[in-house]
Structure 1
Amino acid sequence: MSRKRPFSYEEFKQVYSKVPRLCVDLIIQDPKGQVLLLRREEEPSVGMWHLPGGTVLFREEVEQAIKRIAQEEVGVAVRVEGLVGFIEFLNEERGNQAFHSLSLAVVCSIQEKISRTPKRQFFKVVPENTIKEQGLFLEKILSGRWKDAACDDPNCTDEDCLKDSAA
């Protein structure tokens, strides 16, 4: 779905090369517990699977951003169920520029059915070509380890989180 950009790429670089960007990522599950992923159509990470998500705009309430992004990216109305954790992208690359984004991962419910397309699928297991940070986070969500999903160690593996949570 097309969306209007709040500012140009030059303005984006000017702002977000200096401060982290706040985003929301939507965790939408079907009745079988599978998670909705979209295939990226633009840089960065063209062709990779990702959670629907985007930037919280200036003076936009987080819940409004979630609802806007659900409409823009998926074309559905959502109900916010709750915050699960966060996903941090410390070295997000766009062209030759590095950025730092922080995404609030939010579980959302929907009333309508979402049709599957080649660019929009529900997954029970995280596909290999998923954006790395989201993939690690989703593996914890899909395995039922919700409380471990917000691990803040960017080098963490599932085994590390299991050891930490058992201690």
Structure 2
Amino acid sequence: MRHKVQVHPLPKADFDAIYARVPRLTVEVLLELEGGLVLARRDIEPCVGQWHIPGGTVHFGESLPAAVRRVALVELGVEVTPGALVGYIEYPRMHADGYPGWPVGMAFTATRVSGDLSGSDMGAEVACFTAVPDDIIAEQGEFLRAWFARRL
């Protein structure tokens, strides 16, 4: 079952105007299941068709753990317990390719508490990976290759 994405707290024009001028804080959810690390294939811009770590903008007044829980529920259909902050990802290539913002993603591990894995309007296809796929957002691919290497 796909989950419909929640309405964004800002109108798109305001979101674009604000985040074209300042960095955008996001969370990235590193959820490992029996089959590997969960990734979703993007159905929306930027980076349509590429695999990505489920993630999203931290809302004003929202704690980072609350954002991790929200993103996991909205994008993957599962309730999680947020774990450790394991690093951050900046997205200069995305900006250079015409994306109006400069996201900075705080990557957290997460443990599934309940729910069955499913996609969303942002990415219907979800899968588990034991290695980094070739068709992944470049900055996330670099981050995950280093993350997997540290764990060996």
TM-score interval w.r.t. the shorter chain? 0.7 to 0.9
Query: Which has the higher relative contact order, 1 or 2, with Cα contacts under 8 A spaced 6 or more apart?
Result: 2
* Aligned-partner Cα distance in 1 for 2:118–2:9: 29
The match for 1:69 is 71
For the 8 Å contact 2:78–2:117, the answer to whether it is kept is: no
The match for 1:119 is 125
The match for 2:8 is 5
**Aligned residue identity for 1:50:** H
For the 8 Å contact 2:77–2:118, the answer to whether it is kept is: no
**Aligned residue identity for 1:55:** T
Alignment RMSD? 2.1
The match for 2:58 is 56
* Aligned-partner Cα distance in 1 for 2:47–2:104: 17
The match for 1:17 is 20
For the 8 Å contact 2:29–2:107, the answer to whether it is kept is: yes
Moved more, 75-84 or 107-116: 107-116
* Aligned-partner Cα distance in 1 for 2:118–2:76: 11
The match for 2:110 is 108
**Percent identity of the aligned residues?**
33
Deviation at 1:61, TM superposition (A): 1.0
Aligned to 1:92, the other structure's residue is in SS state helix
Count of residues paired in the alignment: 144
Deviation at 1:8, TM superposition (A): 1.8
* Aligned-partner Cα distance in 1 for 2:99–2:143: 24
Aligned to 1:69, the other structure's residue is in SS state helix
Instruction: List 4+ stretches of structure 1 deviating above 2 A.
Output: 90-98, 111-118
Deviation at 1:113, TM superposition (A): 6.4
* Aligned-partner Cα distance in 1 for 2:58–2:43: 20
Q: Report whether the alignment pairs 1:98 with 2:100.
A: yes
Q: Report whether the alignment pairs 1:134 with 2:108.
A: no
The match for 1:155 is none
Structure 2: stretches of 5+ with no match in the other structure: none
